Amino acid sequence: MPSIDVCFSPELLHLYDLKGKAVVAVDVLRATSTMVTAFAEGASHIFPVMELEECRGFAERGCLTAAERNGIKAEGFDLGNSPFAYMNGNVAGRDIAITTTNGTRAIRLSEAAEEIVVGAFLNLQAVVNHLRELNLDVLVVCAGWKGQFNLEDTLFAGALVERLNDSFSYEHDSALAALYLYQTAKQDLVEFLRQSSHVRRLEHLEIHKDIEFCLRHDVYDVLPVWRHDRLVDLVRVGEVKS
């Protein structure tokens, strides 16, 4: 039986051997929720990058550029980190280069894995189906916040553990802790997260609408995976039955 484990911060990745594993990179608020939304809205490819300058350079390649630092859209870029900015035809048929405070880092620091899947509550079931198919040991890599643990990514890990419960074993207590947390919170995730650091930190930015949206489950049948130097949606390219 394959195992599932949870890494609470990219800074802890040195504790894990990613070789032969499937990583699920998650930044519920908001980077991976936004990437999933972008694919659902017809984006072609997404280039997650770590630095602002590198991201800016993708404009020459015809990409839309997206950048966020500390919750705010960085100056001079086309898009920020709100899923709503990627709707209404804004990204259909376009390649996007994106850098965010935490989420893009979690993806890029996981490159040693056999497979990197981008997860969010919005595409939870698509991720579950893919992991069952892959049958590899799974490591959920929580983006956290600047190296620190956060609640929202751990809740996603718990939701994933709950849905895979019957066919994955737990290697460490982290998976069990995430599961217990999710089971405590799932009746009302918005309420549970009211005192969380993300909500308190970004309260002044009035992104409540984003938070509620990012906590919705199974909205999109989208499966972003890392291929060579970019994310592609496996559902769109026909490698997964929709």
Ligand X SMILES: O=C(O)[C@H](CS(=O)(=O)O)OP(=O)(O)O
Contacting range for Mg ion; rule: CB under 5 A; set: 95-103, 105-113, 131-139, 164-172: 95-103
**Beta-carbon count within 10 A of 180 CB:** 13
Contacting range for ligand X; rule: CB under 6 A; set: 8-16, 29-37, 40-48, 126-134: 29-37
Residue 240 CB, nearest approach to ligand X (Å) = 25
Answer whether 141's CB lies under 8 Å from 32's CB.
no
Residue 148 CB, nearest approach to ligand X (Å) = 10
**Residue span 114-153 as binding mask against Mg ion, x where in contact by CB under 5 A, dash where not:** ----------------------------------------
Distance from C-alpha of 106 to C-alpha of 38, rounded to nearest angstrom: 18
71 part of the interface to ligand X, by CB under 6 A: yes
10 binds, among Mg ion, ligand X, none (CB under 5 to 8 A by kind): none
119 part of the interface to ligand X, by CB under 6 A: no
Residue whose CB is less far from ligand X, 19 or 204: 204
Distance from C-alpha of 231 to C-alpha of 41, rounded to nearest angstrom: 15
100 binds, among ligand X, Mg ion, none (CB under 5 to 8 A by kind): ligand X
Residues 24-53 that bind Mg ion (CB under 5 A): 27, 29
Distance from C-alpha of 119 to C-alpha of 4, rounded to nearest angstrom: 14
Among 198, 219, 222, 233, binds ligand X (CB under 6 A): 198
Nearest to 118 by CA among 4, 223, 219: 223
Q: Which residues pair with 141 in a beta bridge?
A: 7, 25
**SS3 state of residue 170:** strand
Distance from C-alpha of 226 to C-alpha of 22, rounded to nearest angstrom: 11
Answer whether 185's CB lies under 8 Å from 3's CB.
no
Query: CB under 8 Å to 183, separation ≥6 — which residues?
Result: 158, 162
Among 22, 24, 26, 31, binds ligand X (CB under 6 A): 31
> Can you give the binding site for Mg ion, defined by CB under 5 A?
27, 29, 102
> Can you give the binding site for ligand X, defined by CB under 6 A?
27, 29-31, 68, 70-71, 81, 100-103, 143, 145, 198, 201-202
